[in-house]
Amino acid sequence: MVFTIILTLILLSILIFVHEFGHFSVSKLLKVPVEQFSIGFGPKLFSFKLKETEFKISLIPFGGYVKIFGEEEVGENSFWERPFIIKFLILSAGVFFNLVFGYFVIFLLFYIFGIVEYENIIDKPLKNSSAQKIGLLMGDRILEVDGRRFIRWKDFYAIFQDGDTHKVKILRNKKDTLTLKLYGIWDDTLSKYETGIVPLVLPVIGDVIEDFPASKAGLKKGDTIIEISGKKIYKWEDIQEVVEKSQGRELEIKVKRQGKILNFSIKPKKYGNSYKLGIRADVKIIKLSFLDALGYSFEETYFIIYQTFRIVYLLISGKTPVSSIGGPVMIGKIIGETRKTGLSSLLFLLAFISIELALINIFPFPALDGGHLLIISIEAIIRKRLSFKLRAVIQMIGFVILISLAVLITIFDIHRLLK
């Protein structure tokens, strides 16, 4: 627990530092003095001065700020009297740095570790999908799409986003080659074309997570799970279904290991709102070239951004409850569990939170960077400065609302943990 708290504070501090360093470095580049650079809010714990800037670490770790010269001044020396482009670049720099940092970490992960990919075998097509209608079956192996060899599922799905029909060459029963015409059907919920095809993940263990029930019971990488409490297992989804339905009750698991049948009794562990054994599926790792890693990292960053705005839409429209939002406590819990799955997972989570932090800050809400950008944009349009008093009132209202939201989300977090 203590280690998880320390790790959470370290990771959040890294992201806050990246964000505030964006404001700081662009201010210095544009020759705008910076008075304070703080990681955290409230009373200072430690500080030192370098030239005109005081660097400090403050008591409350969830945030930070850069105090720019003239930010609280009125008149000619005020920061807000500077040209629009200078204010815009400085205020947006934190968001930009968080986005670039997130992208860079994802790039390093893809380039160094490669990408995870499932076999090109399809699961049972979804009901009423185009895949079901044209006769695709569970176990079919995709060989080609429009004459191009199948490489990655993400590329496969992207092909069908044009709404057209494409020729798919498959291998059935390891001997019969068929070419079928497949198309996507528009899904309003997901806002994309869906073929109804998902990869078949075989019930072969690729990794056993430390300190989880499977590890303690003796399951090993390469084991094939063939039966759980009397239910035959044909694919990885069957494992997840049985474990979830167990509600934490002990399971009798039968595995095949090097030709031998072994039996284990394992009680799943509560993880968030679900139950886990602590195993991951066996997947293949594809190594990427430098240029491919750049491209795939851009796609992954775009996907995170797209999904974030989609969730915001669902929250605003009432389709997703506000109570589903996680705060610092939940982030800490996720970090604590993620560290057990390896360095790459922890680094990806760091990149994900960095991108999320950028997107949160860009929202046009008082006390956030987006709120400042909105105000200076309005001033540029109406060609008039808002009074310092009005600006201060707007920021104070925004700050109070943000603190209230933070408290509310923390309550939701604690409630979830207690459940």
Q: Which residue has the tokens 């205020």?
A: 91
222 in Cβ contact with 205 (< 8 Å): yes
- Decide: 99 and 362 in contact? Cβ < 8 Å: no
Is residue 183 within 8 Å of 166, Cβ to Cβ?
A: yes
| Residue 236 main-chain phi, psi, to 5 deg | -60, -35
Catalytic residue among 20, 227, 337, 356: 20
**CA 110/CA 275 separation, integer angstroms:** 29
Task: Note whether 278 and 208 are within 8 A (CB).
Answer: yes
- Measured between its terminal Cα atoms, the distance across the chain in Å is 18
Whether 20 is a known active-site residue: answer yes
E strand or H helix at 347, and its extent?
A: helix 343-362
Rg (CA), the chain: 26
Do 5 and 332 touch, CB atoms closer than 8 A? yes
Contact 3, 29 (CB under 8 A): no
Residues with catalytic annotation?
Answer: 20
